[in-house]
Amino acid sequence: MQAVSIQTTQNIQLEYPIAGIADRLLAFAIDLCIMLGFFLLFNFISRLLGLGGLAVNLTLVVAAYLYRLVAEVFFNGQTAGKVALRIKVVKLDGSTPSFAAYFLRWLLEVIDFLIVGLGVVFIILTKRGQRVGDLLAGTTVVKIKKITSTNLQNKVLMDKVDEAYEPQIFEAANINDAEVRLIKDALRAFKNDANQKPITLIERKIKEKYNIQSDLPTVKFLYTLLRDHTYYVTK
């Protein structure tokens, strides 16, 4: 299975399997069914209300077509079809895709899918499985379950530390069990789903609450915080 290597902003090297043609087309087909269902339902309702006509139909077509863009923006790179197939849109530089990136992909779907086979050809021929929209937006589509994680500490969720360990963040002694669980959940979300929002949010909240000054990258900061907390509570 092809994989794409992503260097995150925290200098963590992650490898994800590229979503295959079958997964992407099936996800797209599911989304098309949802879009068609939306159009037919509201077209029926508008006719019952006596609002039928070309203008109404065009409005419904545009609203249905916006579905994939809105879903990816608000659901972290996933539509209903992508959720069903466990695939998602990611940026190749490891950052969270911006609205502009999602918009560019969505805008170029007309070229990728309405020009028969063009998107499929590009996905097959490009090294990172990118259609035209992906190439211009700097994105690709991957399977959610990651293959490997290089340089990400495998002991993030450990229950003990070496006796010779020296803590770096003294405030780690003050974090509570609920915060520890939140940190672990955020790290799991990042490791398994390439979801950076939880780790960024929990880092900011912890630093603000305990007035922690640290220049460590987000993942390393949270890992160190957990390890230092473990050191303090086991001593």
The verdict on 17 and 67 lying in the same domain is yes
Give the CA distances from residue 24 to residues 49, 123, 184, in Å, rounded to whole numbers and listed in that order. Answer: 37, 10, 31
| pLDDT at residue 57 greater than cutoff 80 | yes
The verdict on 103 and 218 lying in the same domain is no
pLDDT band of residue 11 (cuts 50, 70, 90) is low
Of 112, 143, 174, the one marking the end of a domain is: 143
Helix and strand totals (H; E) in the chain: 10, 5
42-48 LR contacts (CB < 8 Å, sep 24+):
none
Number of domains in the chain: 2
160 located within any domain = yes
Report pTM: 0.64
Secondary element (H or E) of residue 130: none
The verdict on 87 and 194 lying in the same domain is no
Tell which wins on pLDDT, 70 or 12.
70
Residue 43: the pLDDT is 87
Give me the domain span that covers residue 161.
153-234
The verdict on 89 and 18 lying in the same domain is yes
Name the range with the highest mean pLDDT among 81-85, 162-166, 185-189: 81-85
The verdict on 201 and 102 lying in the same domain is no
pLDDT band of residue 31 (cuts 50, 70, 90) is very high
The verdict on 30 and 110 lying in the same domain is yes
The verdict on 9 and 122 lying in the same domain is yes
| pLDDT at residue 152 greater than cutoff 50 | no
Mean pLDDT in residue range 10-39: 85
- Cα(24)–Cα(142) distance, integer angstroms: 9
Of 95, 120, 143, the one marking the end of a domain is: 143
The verdict on 177 and 106 lying in the same domain is no
Q: Give the other-Cβ count within 10 Å of 160's Cβ.
A: 11
- Residues near 197 by beta carbon (within 8 Å), at least 6 away in sequence: 76, 96
Residue 156: the pLDDT is 46
Residue 7: the pLDDT is 61
| pLDDT at residue 230 greater than cutoff 90 | no
72 located within any domain = yes
- Cα(163)–Cα(226) distance, integer angstroms: 15
Mean pLDDT in residue range 70-76: 92
The verdict on 139 and 168 lying in the same domain is no
The verdict on 176 and 86 lying in the same domain is no
Tell which wins on pLDDT, 128 or 146.
128
Residue 14: the pLDDT is 67
Of 143, 166, 189, the one marking the end of a domain is: 143
Mean pLDDT of the chain: 84
